[in-house]
Amino acid sequence: MLTTTAREIADITGGRLVGGATGDETVTGEARIDSREVTTGDLFAAFAGEHADGHDYLGVAREAGAALALASRDLGVPAVLVDDVREALSQVARAQLARAREVGPDLVVVAITGSAGKTGAKDLLGTILRTQGPTIAPVGSFNNELGLPLTVLRLTSETRFLVLEMGARGIGHIAALTAIARPDISLVLNVGSAHLGEFGSVEAIATAKSELVEALEATGRAVLNAEDPRVAAMASRTAADSLMWGFTSGDVRGDDLTLDDEARIRFTLVVPEGVTTLRGEPIPAGRFPVRPDLLGEHLAATAVAALSAALAAGVDPAAAVAALDGAKLASGQRMEAIRAGGALIIDDAYNANPDSMRHALKTLAHLGRGRRTIAVLGEMLELGPDSVRLHDEIGRLVVRLNISQLYVVGDGAAPIHHGAGLEGSFGGESEYLETVEDAIAVLERTVAPGDAVLLKSSRDAGLRQIAQPLIAHLERQVQPTSRADGGDDA
């Protein structure tokens, strides 16, 4: 965070100094909402969440070194008193970004949205941009009205690139986020069925996602998926120029896509003559091999998207692809490949929707050459009235892909099991399990060396709790037996 005084924060938010604050208190660290993460010089925002109220931890944050707090109650701790802590945090973030642009006029803000793949694209883009200068692209999905300002408030005077993930659960949400942080480059990945229950239609989702390109000034750049018609059409909704990307079409393309025996993607980035950066500088043309450590054909599109945004930001294509050599996603539980006890665990249990579920299952099927494949699937949330049908379709797909074993976990995911049965899964190839604990117990009994296991569900369905105990169990199985006599002396 840029150095800021309590008086300046009070002026920005229209708040009042309380708790003995003089106005000279100086914030030199980051903004925090968790008192356990506070370090010297931080701004502690006393946010009242579902499970805890930050006001209860004002004293703890102060003792940990917080220079100042944002609060909506005066509890005797130096603070700026405001009506709405979350709105005040957004106001401070907006002001800090404006100051950062003045301090570093070359600062580039890249915002990313899409129904699937936002966090992966943010991770890959961050990996590339860090080779070019100080970059903020935090691990995880800080993509809402609270996480985004916290990310912006990590800015320093040295920051060269700020990468922001923007999510939406309704029309107007992304517009509100771009009002906090207007992007220079807007990357739109796709329009799919994630959160369909909240939006009501895919068309409404497209309208919400288009708010990201509408926020661009004419000097900005929209980086759009040429192969998603709803995304490609967003070029008409912005005054900025567009850079299109894809595999079969687009300005920047991926070519020669293959998967190796471990389902890792391999492709060539094709940059034609005449493509320019955000600043209008020509991008070197050519063909550039891309070899990240990413599993699944769908992540090739994520990689092309991140590379295209990096080119728009001014990164040389040879340097961009070199940065992705052997790269993994920094945020866990997104097609995260973990080898334990001779088995391959693919932990993709942070999020799920019908599109990402299909992609993950196709990757698992690719791994089925000479090994047993096991799909452990939980509920895909927020699908609305189409939920049963969409889960049923996933169960049928599992059978068509010839996955060796399916375990369906939880009542909300039960239609997956029913769909598999109707498609022809008999004799125990599909099994319904009531709880995550049941799934862990079954997997500990059945997973063997050489197996490939996919864990996939929405975050709150609970399957993200399976990987660690399963991995620990598998690793215990291969530990060498200890000898009481210590063995031979060296």
Among the CATH numbers 3.40.1190.10, 3.40.50.720, 3.20.20.70, 3.40.50.10470, which is that of 104-323?
3.40.1190.10
Q: Which two tokens stand for residue 474?
A: 């598998």
H runs (alpha helix) in 270-386: 298-312, 317-323, 354-366
Give the closest residue to 164 by CA, choosing from 181, 179, 145. 181
pTM of the model: 0.90
- Per-residue confidence in pLDDT tens, the chain, 490 aa: 899 999 999 999 999 999 999 999 999 999 999 999 999 999 999 998 888 999 999 999 999 999 999 999 999 999 999 999 999 999 999 999 999 999 888 999 999 999 889 999 999 999 999 999 999 998 888 889 999 999 999 999 999 999 999 998 889 999 999 999 999 999 999 998 666 667 778 899 999 999 999 999 999 999 999 999 999 999 999 999 999 999 999 999 999 999 998 999 999 999 999 999 999 999 999 999 999 999 999 999 999 999 999 999 999 999 999 999 999 999 989 999 999 999 999 999 998 999 999 999 999 999 988 899 999 999 999 898 999 999 999 999 999 999 999 999 999 999 999 999 999 876 789 999 999 999 999 999 999 999 999 999 999 999 999 999 999 999 998 765 443 334 333 3
Give the closest residue to 177 by CA, choosing from 161, 189, 191, 164. 164
The pLDDT value given to residue 488:
33
Domain ranges of the chain: 4-82, 104-323, 336-477
Question: Cα 178 from chain centroid?
Answer: 18
For the chain, what's the residue count? 490
The pLDDT value given to residue 138:
86
DSSP 8-state symbol, 282: B
The pLDDT value given to residue 486:
40
CA distances from 337 to 263, 379, 490 (A): 10, 21, 37
Give the closest residue to 453 by CA, choosing from 117, 415, 444. 444
- As a three-state string, the secondary structure of 141-201 is CCCCCCHHHHHHCCCCCCCCEEEEECCCCCCCHHHHHHHHCCCCEEEECCCCCCCHHHHCC
The pLDDT value given to residue 481:
45
CA distance 163 to 125: 8
Distance in angstroms between the alpha carbons of the first and the last residue of the chain: 56
CA distance 142 to 315: 25
Residue with tokens 């707090």: 69
CA distance 318 to 316: 6
CATH number for the domain formed by residue range(s) 336-477: 3.90.190.20
CA distance 1 to 12: 15
Report the b/e string of 331-356 with b at 16+ CB within 10 A: bebbbbbbebbebbbbbbbbbbbbbb
SS3 content of the chain, % helix, strand, coil (to 5): 40, 20, 40
Residues 6+ apart with CB under 8 A from 168: 113, 174, 195, 208, 209, 211
CA 166-171-173 angle, 5° bins = 35
Assign domain 4-82 to its CATH superfamily: MurE/MurF, N-terminal domain (3.40.1390.10)
Question: Which sign does the torsion angle of CA 78, 83, 85, 91 carry?
Answer: negative
The CA-based dihedral angle spanning residues 97, 100, 106, 107, taken in that order and rounded to the nearest 10 degrees:
-40
